[in-house]
Chain A
Amino acid sequence: MRLHQLTIHEARDRLTSGEFSAVELSEALLERILAVDNDVKAYLTLTPEEALAQAHAADRLLGSSQERPGSLVGIPLAVKDVLCTQGIRTTAGSRVLDNFVPPYDATVVARLKAAGAVILGKTNTDEFAMGSSTENSAFFTTRNPWDLDRVPGGSSGGSAAAVAAAECLGALGTDTGGSVRQPAGFCGVVGFKPSYGRVSRYGLIAFASSLDQVGVLTRDVTDAALLLEVIAGHDPRDSTSIGLPVPEYAASLTGDLRGVRVGVPREYFVAGMQSKVEEAVRAAVDVLADLGAEVHEIGLPHTEYALSVYYLIAPAEASANLARYDGVRYGLRVEGESLREMYTTTRGQGFGPEVKRRIMLGTYALSAGYYDAYYLKAQQVRTLIKADFDVAFEKVDVVVGPTTPSTAFRIGEKSGDPLQMYLSDVFTLSMNLAGICGLSLPCGFDDAGLPIGLQVMGPAWGEEQALRTAYAYEQATEWHTQRPVL
């Protein structure tokens, strides 16, 4: 097996045993990127010099008997370009931040570095993480490694494609309404969005603050557990991060599902979804039952409102979060004859159409006379959606369903129809609204050979339950060993 195809845990074991060096590993990944990224277009910015310097430092640590190396020492990873990296251009996929170089690291990036990881570069994203295909990136569209004519999903499409195409061993993404899980499903990798508050948002360029969460994209469940353990935990710089201790996630990977109660929501099998997706997910539920899980049909009755609620709350928060891109302090500035003209031309030229659409939606939802009918009502329904899950998790340990209603669509197929695009997140939005965790892992392929994602949801702070279930399924199946041919 070639080095770039290793999982994080395989690479870690072999680095520790001295089979190869961290520099050799990083060089192998950089070569792989050179070989395939012209086709895949996963990376917005590559940082080979910094990566090799980090790899050299990792080799010194690995060779030293004094220091115990961090858990990710020498592991080459990629970071979605909405996460700030000190001294490295961070664009959020937007013209408005084309030239922005943050003077600070996002907390998750700092934690990766502290654990010894090597950061290869910044991956493509829909502008400000608003989208489901990377087609809203101001720079270019990332291709799905399984079919270069199709989208990788989004908004963390660059990270998902990079992991699937073996252009990194793992990656960080962010998930506001499915932006880690949906591309993981489309690209046949594992994508895990932790509970809201489990991971610090400091340095994550905000889209919708009450929904955003940093997640991980990896080749298998073990790697997801490893990465999450590094980035999780309270951060004094994020008041919404939780003060709970971080469990040893790897310890939850027992392979034993006996007695685990699995809920299957009837609302997640809807008319119009791809039949192959439904088949694969139902078959996966059977596998879980064979492994000793108790399967229960459950109801999440407010699911049908999730999309409407999401598209009021997320744009409302975004309309305020994106107000800071005004050309005054950093990023793009288009000079004007007046202050007002500077604002309007900077923002007019700096933002793409989807971002503008959401700013307008959100501004409207918050305006005087409409707040109660839109934003406030949406928050009330959000409480009902959360209550659905509270009730469900009294009866079951995890909830299982499809990640998306269909597999990866063609580039351009939905870019002219925002509503169709929004519907591709219909099964992933509710977890963000409820603040619970959700993981997508491969559970089959459709007739076109495109990956299908199985979504495993746990309650807030129930990451271990989700990981345990996903791991047992993964051990019983071979889907995760399939790799796209590039």
Chain B
Amino acid sequence: MIRYEPVIGLEVHAQIHTASKMFCGCPVVADTGDVPSNTAVCPVCTGMPGTLPVVNRRAVELTLLTCLALDCEVPPTARFARKSYFYPDLPKGYQISQHALPFGRDGFLEIETAAGPKRIRINNVHLEEDAGKLYHGAGGSRVDLNRAGVPLIEIVTEPDLRSVEEVRAYAAALHAVLVYLGVNGGEMERGVMRFEASVSVRPAGSDALNPRHEIKNLNSFRALADAVAYEIAAQVETLTHGGAVAQQTVGWDEARGVTYVQRSKEYAEDYRYFPEPDLPPVDVDRAWVAALRAQLPELPAARRERFTSDYGLSGYDAALLTADRAVADYYEAVVSAGGAPKAAANWITGELFRLMKETGQTIQTVHVSPQALAELIQLVETDVITLGSGKTVLAEMFAAGGSARQIVAARGLAQISDTNALEQVIARIVEENPEEVRQYLEGKEQILSWLMGQVMRATHGKANPQVVQRLLHVQLEARRQ
């Protein structure tokens, strides 16, 4: 039986969240339905006769930053081009995109795979405008052009991906890069990132590029992974049974979990690209590129590396903390406010993430300032409070804000390390539980932790566990004679 390997390429469309649209002054508004249809529009983005596009410089800068972040070559001249097709959500009957002279080409993005790091080559990075949206109802279809003209960056890979896992890793890594650069906020549910995957399979080890299926309009990481997995399995199945895969454009039916044919090769669109005559070529000045390069923030991969080397974090924790730029910034703020690096990583990826997940909050909205968390970490590390009390304090800060020290004082959570006070409590517990003490002395050592629990309960969790353990051990051993 032949073993097959998938050959996958991705086109990623990411909205660029500039203040205004790509070619006019209309605001870029959230795609959430909160803004009434066709209110963020003007004669330019509705394609009125005689109107002309003017390039949004900030959108170009963010595109160039993306090119630099992906190690692309940035040619000295870029051009916009018209891509013609008819569709009701496309006001001009053509999309202003790029064709022969994109802003970036020949780059790569490194991803982590089970077999180690792997470079996924980027064919090109180009800038274009988004289309509007259609709503189909019983009374007919409606067109909303609020989204028409929103800047869209398109990042096209070479067919370098070989598994669903790699597809997932690439999408996540690219998502992180775009958010780091501030291209957009990364809110997948708002449709800020959309995917097209081209999938073919071939006998493992072969160099052949077989006819592929292009899966259009995948709007989430999950849809991307599921659709690619489905296509791989379906194509392998076809080939195994002696069938052939024809080049096609397919859609993804999320509800049924299958792809369906949209267009076969014979009906492929001819987009009739030609250079956009309404816009002169963009002179990508070298000094401009150098200035942008200097603005380039530390990217997720570099930051992950630094977190492991500078803070002694595991690769796993470093990856968790750097996946989101805001979380990484928060972590570093906690450390610079005096939180121990490893403890800070544990608190954030553990308790804080748990609380955020429970309440649907993001790092931007939490009430716990980095200073407050650093103080809490210090209180635990210096044994002023127990780890358990620390969790209580964090929950309270998370709910209502405030400083750790104030909460500890108000709730009387300071840890009891006073030996005399603890010796009395321990003596009482030993006295009250003769049966358990007997079992312990007979060799059932695990009873010790039960006895410790009794002490902790008697002290409302404020006893220093190490001190309790030491004193309990002494008193129990004394009973052996």
B residues 269-317 touching A (CB-CB < 8 Å): 270, 272-274, 277-280
Mind listing 19 A-B residue pairs with CB under 8 Å? A102-B43, A203-B50, A237-B54, A238-B52, A239-B54, A239-B280, A320-B82, A320-B94, A320-B272, A320-B274, A324-B47, A324-B49, A326-B88, A328-B91, A329-B46, A366-B84, A366-B274, A368-B270, A375-B274
Contact between A324 and B93, CB atoms less than 8 A apart: yes
Point out the residues of chain B lying under 8 angstroms from A124, CB to CB: none
The verdict on A317 contacting chain B, using a C-beta distance below 8 Å, is: yes
Tell me the dominant secondary structure on chain A's binding face: loop
How many residues of chain B are within 8 Å of chain A by beta carbon?
28
The verdict on A228 contacting chain B, using a C-beta distance below 8 Å, is: no
The verdict on A309 contacting chain B, using a C-beta distance below 8 Å, is: no
Point out the residues of chain A lying under 8 angstroms from B49, CB to CB: 84, 90, 92, 97, 100, 102, 205-206, 324
CB contact under 8 A between A367 and B280, given known A237-B52, A323-B93, A326-B93 = no
Contact between A239 and B84, CB atoms less than 8 A apart: no
What 1/0 flags go to B64-106 for Cβ under 8 Å of A?
0000000000000000001010101001111000000000000
CB contact under 8 A between A320 and B52, given known A209-B277, A366-B272 = no
The verdict on A316 contacting chain B, using a C-beta distance below 8 Å, is: yes
Q: How far is the CB of A205 from chain B (nearest CB, A)?
A: 4
Tell me the dominant secondary structure on chain B's binding face: loop
The verdict on B53 contacting chain A, using a C-beta distance below 8 Å, is: yes
C-alpha spacing A102/B277, complex, angstroms: 23
The verdict on A20 contacting chain B, using a C-beta distance below 8 Å, is: no
Contact between A202 and B50, CB atoms less than 8 A apart: yes
Point out the residues of chain B lying under 8 angstroms from A324, CB to CB: 47, 49, 91-93
A residues 82-134 touching B (CB-CB < 8 Å): 82-84, 90, 92, 97, 100, 102-104, 106
- Of the residues B48, B52, B82, B92, contact of A239 by C-beta under 8 Å: B52
- Of the residues A104, A208, A209, contact of B43 by C-beta under 8 Å: A104
Q: How far is the CB of B40 from chain A (nearest CB, A)?
A: 15
- Of the residues B47, B86, B280, contact of A343 by C-beta under 8 Å: B86
Interface centre among B51, B53, B92, B143 (most CB of A within 10 A): B51
C-alpha spacing A205/B43, complex, angstroms: 12
3 nearest CB pairs, A to B: A323-B93, A209-B277, A210-B277
C-alpha spacing A92/B49, complex, angstroms: 10
Contact between A367 and B91, CB atoms less than 8 A apart: no
Contact between A202 and B46, CB atoms less than 8 A apart: no
Point out the residues of chain A lying under 8 angstroms from B319, CB to CB: none
- Of the residues A201, A343, A368, contact of B52 by C-beta under 8 Å: A201
The verdict on A240 contacting chain B, using a C-beta distance below 8 Å, is: yes
The verdict on A236 contacting chain B, using a C-beta distance below 8 Å, is: yes
Point out the residues of chain A lying under 8 angstroms from B278, CB to CB: 206, 209, 239-240
CB contact under 8 A between A103 and B93, given known A239-B279, A375-B274 = no
Point out the residues of chain A lying under 8 angstroms from B46, CB to CB: 329
The verdict on A403 contacting chain B, using a C-beta distance below 8 Å, is: no
C-alpha spacing A368/B277, complex, angstroms: 19
Point out the residues of chain A lying under 8 angstroms from B109, CB to CB: none
Q: How far is the CB of B278 from chain A (nearest CB, A)?
A: 5
CB contact under 8 A between A323 and B54, given known A239-B280, A368-B270 = no
The verdict on B447 contacting chain A, using a C-beta distance below 8 Å, is: no
Closest to A347 in B: B86
